[in-house]
């Protein structure tokens, strides 16, 4: 083998390796594409304006850059000392000074005018068809439809990427880390006003294809808007470093036709009505455990681990004295949080009761103790049930009767 055929072999192998890797990663539908260099393809008027501004300014900057350096290098090279050039000595040229003041001024005005127009348009949230409040939590998004069709709908939107993919034990999907259980659904060609706020630290709600990026600040209300012009799914992420799982709070918006939106609103309302009747009902251990497993996987497993063993500073729930002890201590911990443990007040009473029952009857624990949603309804007003753990009287059907009975006081 001569040198050139060896070189060819090496190049061929390298190309094979590179192309096979490229095959493994595909474009994310509604998200970034493989080797995408430009901004996300715009689907709103504002995003189109941003694109245009971006390219207009880039072109102006490049033209100035090339012109200035061309003149500079030309002058340095063509008038160098070794060719016998003598430096000219002159002071103060009024003409030059006026030109180099006026020309940049005109350039800046030329860029600032259209930019200001776009920024003002971004802030004009009047006459919206639908208003949605977006709340940032560590680490998920809450959506409340406040006004317009769908008013009253509220849900949380949490990452659905399985832990095995995150830990590298399973193959990663095309929507890895940018997929959620409940997508934000909005109708096409409607002006949607987004009000942002946060519950704990600063987050930011961003969808590049909409040209929208708005901080969500605890104690403050900010707003922005978009009018999506194309049906489809669009993806974004929290854009403000908000803690350890910052990368795990994606945003997915599904833009649908007006008919599909009406259908979705209808379905969601029915679903919510079905859920809303829950908190007064008495559930069986199986019902609570089933629901609790889901609540745990979505909210608790990230810290306490799917096996309940905790990790580092995060205590194990499996075998924990709190989980196997009196009800009050565990309910307080879940409702109010403690240190790095967040408060879970935002979950419904059914979800809280389910997850607490789950932790008391899973892994190494089988206390047989049921927590009913009504107990959390009471606990929120400061009335905690007695009993639990060794203090609780267990009845023949396994449940602590004391606990289910509403508490005096
Ligand atoms: C952000 C990480 C995180 C998440 C998510 C989280 N926890 Fe915790 N949890 C903690 C930390 C840290 C502690 C220890 C708090 C302390 O005592 O200072 C804790 C403590 C607890 C305790 C008390 C355990 C003991 O033995 O002291 C219970 C019970 C508990 N968590 C339940 C839950 C439940 C139920 C969920 C889901 C709804 C949940 N946690 C989600 C971090 C978390
Ligand atoms: Cu965030």
CATH for 278-404, options being 1.10.760.10, 1.10.10.10, 3.30.70.520, 3.30.1540.10: 1.10.760.10
Contact by Cβ (8 Å): 158, 295: no
- Condensed to tens digits (0 to 9), the pLDDT of residues 51-87 reads 999 999 999 999 999 999 999 999 999 999 899 888 8
Confidence (pLDDT) at 200: 93
Phi, psi at residue 30, to the nearest 5°?
Answer: 85, 0
Spatial separation of the C-alpha atoms in residues 300 and 296, rounded to whole Å: 5
User: 393 pLDDT exceeds 60?
Assistant: no
Closest by CA to 299, choosing from 336, 248, 252, 339, is 248
Task: Tell how strand 184-187 and strand 250-256 pair up.
Answer: parallel
Q: How confident is the model at residue 2 (pLDDT cuts 50, 70, 90)?
A: low
Spatial separation of the C-alpha atoms in residues 350 and 338, rounded to whole Å: 22
Here the tokens at position 64 are: 């100035």
Average pLDDT over residues 290-300: 90
Confidence (pLDDT) at 395: 39
Say how many CA atoms lie within 13 Å of 399 toward its Cβ: 15
Mutate to test the pocket of ligand 1, among 163, 299, 303 (most ligand atoms within 8 A of CB): 303
Instruction: Report the SS3 class of residue 205.
Output: strand
Q: What is the DSSP string of 129-160?
A: SEEEEEEEETTEEEEEEEESTTTT-EEEE-B-
Q: Is 345 in the pocket of ligand 1 (CB under 6 A)?
A: no
State the chain's mean pLDDT as an integer.
87
Mutate to test the pocket of ligand 1, among 156, 163, 297, 341 (most ligand atoms within 8 A of CB): 341
Say how many CA atoms lie within 13 Å of 241 toward its Cβ: 0
User: Is there a shared CATH topology between the 130-271 domain and the 278-404 domain?
Assistant: no
Average pLDDT over residues 150-164: 91
Number of H helices, E strands in the chain: 12, 10
Q: How confident is the model at residue 88 (pLDDT cuts 50, 70, 90)?
A: confident
Spatial separation of the C-alpha atoms in residues 199 and 90, rounded to whole Å: 64
Which position has the token pair 């350096």? 69
Report H helices in 132-238.
163-166
| Angle in degrees, CA 299, 32, 234, rounded to 5 | 60
- Condensed to tens digits (0 to 9), the pLDDT of residues 33-58 reads 999 999 999 999 999 999 999 999 99
Spatial separation of the C-alpha atoms in residues 320 and 360, rounded to whole Å: 10
- Ligand that lies nearest to the alpha carbon of residue 139, given by its number in the listed order: 2
Using CA positions, which residue lies closest to atom 32 of ligand 1?
334
- Ligand that lies nearest to the alpha carbon of residue 243, given by its number in the listed order: 2
DSSP letter at 199 equals S
Q: Where in the chain are the domains?
A: 45-77+95-123, 130-271, 278-404
Q: Is 340 in the pocket of ligand 1 (CB under 6 A)?
A: yes
Confidence (pLDDT) at 401: 42
Average pLDDT over residues 290-305: 90
CATH number of 130-271: 2.60.40.420
| Angle in degrees, CA 383, 393, 385, rounded to 5 | 5
Here the tokens at position 63 are: 């033209």
Average pLDDT over residues 278-299: 86
**Prior bond to 139 cis, omega within 30?**
yes
Confidence (pLDDT) at 5: 61
Phi, psi at residue 230, to the nearest 5°?
Answer: -135, 135
């Amino acid at each position: 083998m001569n040198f050139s055929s060896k070189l060819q072999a090496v190049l061929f192998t390298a190309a094979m390796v590179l192309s096979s890797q490229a095959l493994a990663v595909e474009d994310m539908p509604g998200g970034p594409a493989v080797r995408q260099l430009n901004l996300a393809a715009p689907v709103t008027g504002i995003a189109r304006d941003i694109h245009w501004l971006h390219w207009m300014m880039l072109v102006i900057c490049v033209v100035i850059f090339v012109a200035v350096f061309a003149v500079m290098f030309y002058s340095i090279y063509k008038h160098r000392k070794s060719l016998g050039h003598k430096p000219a000595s002159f002071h103060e040229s009024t003409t030059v000074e006026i030109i180099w003041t006026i020309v940049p001024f005109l350039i800046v005005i030329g860029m600032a005018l259209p930019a200001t127009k776009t920024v003002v348009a971004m802030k004009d949230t009047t006459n919206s068809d639908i208003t949605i409040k977006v709340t940032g939590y560590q680490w998920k998004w809450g959506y409340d439809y406040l006004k317009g069709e769908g008013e009253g709908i509220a849900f949380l939107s949490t990452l659905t990427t399985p832990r095995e993919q995150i830990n590298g034990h399973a193959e990663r999907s095309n929507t890895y880390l940018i997929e959620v259980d409940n997508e934000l659904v909005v109708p096409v060609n409607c002006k949607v006003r987004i009000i942002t706020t946060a519950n704990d630290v600063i987050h930011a709600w961003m969808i590049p294809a909409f040209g929208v990026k708005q901080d969500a600040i605890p104690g403050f209300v900010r707003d922005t808007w978009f009018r999506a012009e194309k049906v489809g799914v669009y993806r974004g992420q929290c854009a403000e470093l908000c803690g350890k799982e910052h990368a795990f709070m994606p945003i997915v918006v599904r833009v649908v036709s007006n008919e599909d939106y009406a259908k979705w609103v209808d379905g969601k309302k029915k679903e919510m009505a079905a859920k809303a009747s829950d908190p007064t009902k008495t559930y069986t251990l199986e019902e609570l455990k089933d629901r609790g497993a889901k609540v745990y996987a979505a909210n608790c497993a990230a810290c306490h681990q799917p096996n309940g063993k905790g990790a580092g500073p995060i205590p194990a729930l499996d075998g924990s004295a709190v989980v196997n002890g009196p009800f009050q201590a565990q309910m307080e911990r879940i409702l109010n949080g403690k240190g790095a443990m967040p408060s879970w007040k935002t979950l419904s009473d059914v979800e809280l009761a389910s997850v607490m029952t789950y932790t008391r009857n899973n892994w190494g624990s089988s206390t047989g103790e049921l927590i009913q949603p009504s107990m959390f309804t009471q606990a929120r007003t400061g009335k905690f049930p007695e009993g639990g753990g060794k203090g609780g009287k267990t009845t023949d059907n396994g449940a602590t009767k004391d606990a289910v009975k509403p508490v005096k006081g």
